[in-house]
C-alpha cells in the first residue's frame, strides 16, 4: 500500500489499497480486469500503451493477479 502507485482512471486511487481490498475480499474466484476502452473521444492513452508495449500490460496483470490471488484475467477493448 505504500508504493505510491496510483490508478490511471483519473481519480488517482492508490493501487496498493485496491489490491489490499481485493486480496481480503471473500470469495473463491477473483479476477483481474484490464479496461482498455477509450471512453473519451480522441483519447488514445490506452491504445498507445497496448500498441507500444503490450507485454507491460500483460506483466502488470500477472503481478496484480498474483498480489490478489486471482486465477483469471480479462482485457476489455
Q: Is residue 72 one of the residues assigned to a domain?
A: yes
Interatomic CA distance for residues 21 and 27, integer angstroms: 12
Q: Which domain holds residue 59?
A: 30-76
Q: Is residue 62 one of the residues assigned to a domain?
A: yes
Q: Is residue 15 one of the residues assigned to a domain?
A: no
Residue appearing with cell numbers 502488470: 60
Q: Is residue 56 one of the residues assigned to a domain?
A: yes
Q: Is residue 10 one of the residues assigned to a domain?
A: no
Q: Is residue 37 one of the residues assigned to a domain?
A: yes
Three-point CA angle 43, 58, 24, nearest 5°: 100
**55 vs 43, higher pLDDT:** 55
pTM of the model: 0.81
Which DSSP string do the residues of 11-66 spell out, in sequence order? S--BHHHHHHHHHH--SS--EEEEE----STT--HHHHHHHH-HHHHHHHHHHHHH
Q: Is residue 60 one of the residues assigned to a domain?
A: yes
Q: What is the pLDDT of residue 1?
A: 60
Q: Is the pLDDT of residue 51 over 70?
A: yes
Q: Is residue 21 one of the residues assigned to a domain?
A: no
Q: Domains in the chain: how many in total?
A: 1
Amino acid at each position: 500500500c505504500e508504493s505510491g502507485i496510483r490508478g490511471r482512471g483519473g481519480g488517482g486511487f492508490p493501487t496498493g489499497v485496491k489490491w489490499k481490498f481485493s486480496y481480503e475480499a471473500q470469495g473463491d474466484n477473483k479476477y483481474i480486469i484490464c479496461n482498455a476502452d477509450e471512453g473519451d473521444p480522441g483519447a488514445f492513452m490506452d491504445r498507445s500503451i497496448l500498441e507500444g508495449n503490450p507485454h507491460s500490460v500483460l506483466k502488470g496483470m500477472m503481478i496484480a493477479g498474483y498480489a490478489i490471488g486471482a486465477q483469471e484475467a480479462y482485457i476489455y477493448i
